Amino acid sequence: MIRDIELAFIKIHILYHADKERVFGIGLMQELAEHDYFISPGTLYPILNKLENDGLLISEKETVDHKQRKYYTITESGKSFLNDMKNRIHELYKEVVS
């Protein structure tokens, strides 16, 4: 249960950053660690796949330092989902925090 809620927060972070710029696995892990979310590649990559399968993210492969790196960006439906979530977060914040 606690993990479910944490994973939901992590997904919101991922969509938020994918809306600002292209993101990739290791970069996201470092960014999330700054917010005290410690997530392993074995947890993160299935989340990224799921978000892509759900049509919220789209990926492209690129070679960086002779290695394939998968970059993700938000899709149009990802953007509208994120906006909907922002309203809900705002609503939740008003009730629970302030």
**Which of these ranges, 7-15, 44-52, 64-72, 74-82, lies near Zn ion under the rule CB under 5 A?**
7-15
Q: Sign (positive/negative) of CA torsion 25, 30, 35, 39?
A: positive
- With respect to Zn ion, which residue has the nearer C-beta, 13 or 79? 13
Report the first-to-last Cα separation within the chain, whole angstroms. Answer: 24
For residue 1, what is the DSSP state? -
For residue 40, what is the DSSP state? -
Among 13, 22, 69, 79, binds Zn ion (CB under 5 A): 13
CB 15, min distance to Zn ion, A:
10
Q: How far is CA 58 from the centre of its chain?
A: 12
CB 63, min distance to Zn ion, A:
27
- With respect to Zn ion, which residue has the nearer C-beta, 37 or 52? 37
Site residues, Zn ion (CB under 5 A): 13
